[in-house]
A and B are shown apart, each in its own frame.
Chain A
């Protein structure tokens, strides 16, 4: 990738179940504070879920909120906050040179289920089906809502990549910047999945829906007694630019995109394949021009399913041999699985490590599963390290989509 333009992160906006800014999110990660609620899921009763409490009216009129989607509001909040963080002079930006690339696990389930419920109150007569259904459920909805809110006239679309979507959005944006398709990209991942009972029911009937009497302990990757996924909503959207452009405007550079890989298992719809995951991580390292020893934090994807966690650990054990400076953590233990937002949020939570040199842990481990025992796994308490120069962010999804994204501290060779 050395002959291609270098891509940097110059802004970030997020909403997570335990924070509506990077500062709040990071403070809770270092303090070990999970925040998982218990919500009523249609047809299914009460289940733990990660709920965001950002103020949608900060950036949207109430009519926009009513007519749009929850994930549209999440996206607009994150994009607007990212813009503010970037220091861009928005009035002077050529909006036709701005792109919006948002990763999603799924879209349209929430709105479709709502309408099916709605017409069920009217004898299933479809004349009561809302005319807002199609604009709400087209797959580009969240990205399109961002463009309408912000007056962006460049390209926009979503990247459907199951739970690898957060990384996939960032990778797509980096590629479009390298191709010169846009000058500024808003990219990351978003999710409204807690509002669809179908996701809960699907995981439950798959034996993969997490539960615990204390909801903040329901998501416990790598713990021997883990019992599945806690579904969460959220979003993280980054401002990406070519390095030269960022330097020319005197931007604060948060990190540099160093390398990536997306590949496919081609084996099973739900069971991850550690061989392909290993290949994915190694290819990302190769493209970044790095060795495993150069990675100081591995942000794992692990979702607290019985087999998925072991499969990822198998892949990491294969790649990260003899890497005494490599720390491994997991953010889903705090916020659950934010689905399309997961990869983007989990990366965000680690970015301050470049400067504060703290590595947040994976929490809720009462008894470590021996099959998940990895050297460097940061358990329950944050650790201070001498330096953090590069972060590997894993994000995997159903149908065997794997993504590995490497970001590095700007200025490090």
Chain B
């Protein structure tokens, strides 16, 4: 799975948990919270969906790594690779 694929995985999760948001112009380098209406419960939803759909665990200490699409891709890429994805 490429880093771009991982960004799409995260966007798909956000589309599900924040269905009112327009995701067509999300900037990968900008913090998600700065461009979308997401709160802490939404980030917990992202963590939960990564767990449920992809078997990926994000420890609480690493939540900050989910700040932007770029940081998500950087952080999650080795985890997806470890899963053989």
B52 in contact with A122 (CB, 8 Å): yes
Q: Chain B, 47-85, contact with A by CB distance < 8 Å: what is the 0/1 string?
A: 010011000000000000000000000000000000000
Q: A62-B20, A63-B17, A63-B19 are in contact. Are A127 and B51 (CB under 8 A)?
A: yes
Partner of B48, one of A62, A63, A66, A131: A131
Q: Give how many A-B residue pairs fall within 8 Å (CB-CB).
A: 22
Q: Smallest CB-CB separation from A129: which chain B residue?
A: B48
Q: Smallest CB-CB separation from A132: which chain B residue?
A: B41
Q: A131-B41, A131-B44, A132-B41 are in contact. Are A66 and B52 (CB under 8 A)?
A: no
Q: Is B13 an interface residue (CB 8 A)?
A: no
A128 in contact with B52 (CB, 8 Å): yes
A67 in contact with B41 (CB, 8 Å): yes
Chain B interface SS verdict (over half): helix
Chain B residues lying within 8 Å of A63, measured Cβ to Cβ, are: 17-20, 37
Separation of A130 and B41 alpha carbons in the complex (Å): 10
User: How far apart are B32's CB and chain A's nearest CB, in angstroms?
Assistant: 14
List residues 107-127 of chain A with CB under 8 A from any CB of chain B.
Answer: 122, 127
Chain A residues lying within 8 Å of B20, measured Cβ to Cβ, are: 61-63
Chain B: residues with Cβ within 8 Å of the partner, total of 11
Separation of A380 and B43 alpha carbons in the complex (Å): 55
Q: Smallest CB-CB separation from A65: which chain B residue?
A: B19
Separation of A372 and B67 alpha carbons in the complex (Å): 66
Separation of A62 and B20 alpha carbons in the complex (Å): 6
Q: Smallest CB-CB separation from B19: which chain A residue?
A: A62
User: How far apart are A179's CB and chain B's nearest CB, in angstroms?
Assistant: 36
Q: Chain A, 120-160, contact with B by CB distance < 8 Å: what is the 0/1 string?
A: 00100001101110000000000000000000000000000
Q: Chain B, 2-19, contact with A by CB distance < 8 Å: what is the 0/1 string?
A: 000000000000000111
Separation of A128 and B20 alpha carbons in the complex (Å): 25
Chain A residues lying within 8 Å of B48, measured Cβ to Cβ, are: 128, 130-131
Separation of A42 and B39 alpha carbons in the complex (Å): 32
Chain B residues lying within 8 Å of A122, measured Cβ to Cβ, are: 52
Best-buried of A66, A122, A128 by chain B (most CB within 10 Å): A66
Partner of A128, one of B17, B19, B37, B51: B51
Separation of A280 and B20 alpha carbons in the complex (Å): 49
Separation of A122 and B51 alpha carbons in the complex (Å): 11
Chain A residues lying within 8 Å of B51, measured Cβ to Cβ, are: 127-128
User: How far apart are B41's CB and chain A's nearest CB, in angstroms?
Assistant: 7
Chain B residues lying within 8 Å of A130, measured Cβ to Cβ, are: 48
Chain B residues lying within 8 Å of A132, measured Cβ to Cβ, are: 41
Separation of A370 and B45 alpha carbons in the complex (Å): 57
Separation of A127 and B20 alpha carbons in the complex (Å): 27
Separation of A132 and B49 alpha carbons in the complex (Å): 13
Q: Smallest CB-CB separation from A64: which chain B residue?
A: B20
Chain B residues lying within 8 Å of A127, measured Cβ to Cβ, are: 51
User: How far apart are B78's CB and chain A's nearest CB, in angstroms?
Assistant: 21
Separation of A62 and B17 alpha carbons in the complex (Å): 9
Chain A residues lying within 8 Å of B45, measured Cβ to Cβ, are: 131
Q: Chain A, 49-77, contact with B by CB distance < 8 Å: what is the 0/1 string?
A: 00000000000011100110000000000
Separation of A209 and B6 alpha carbons in the complex (Å): 50
Q: Chain A, 379-413, contact with B by CB distance < 8 Å: what is the 0/1 string?
A: 00000000000000000000000000000000000
User: How far apart are A373's CB and chain B's nearest CB, in angstroms?
Assistant: 54
Separation of A63 and B45 alpha carbons in the complex (Å): 12
Separation of A63 and B17 alpha carbons in the complex (Å): 7
User: How far apart are A144's CB and chain B's nearest CB, in angstroms?
Assistant: 15
User: How far apart are B65's CB and chain A's nearest CB, in angstroms?
Assistant: 19
B17 in contact with A66 (CB, 8 Å): yes
Q: Smallest CB-CB separation from A67: which chain B residue?
A: B41
Best-buried of A63, A122, A128, A130 by chain B (most CB within 10 Å): A63
Closest 4 CB pairs of A and B: A62-B19, A61-B20, A131-B44, A62-B20
Given contacts A131-B41, A131-B48, 7 further A-B contacts (CB under 8 A): A61-B20, A63-B20, A66-B19, A122-B52, A128-B51, A131-B44, A131-B45
22 CB < 8 A contacts A-B: A61-B20, A62-B19, A62-B20, A63-B17, A63-B18, A63-B19, A63-B20, A63-B37, A66-B17, A66-B19, A67-B41, A122-B52, A127-B51, A128-B48, A128-B51, A128-B52, A130-B48, A131-B41, A131-B44, A131-B45, A131-B48, A132-B41
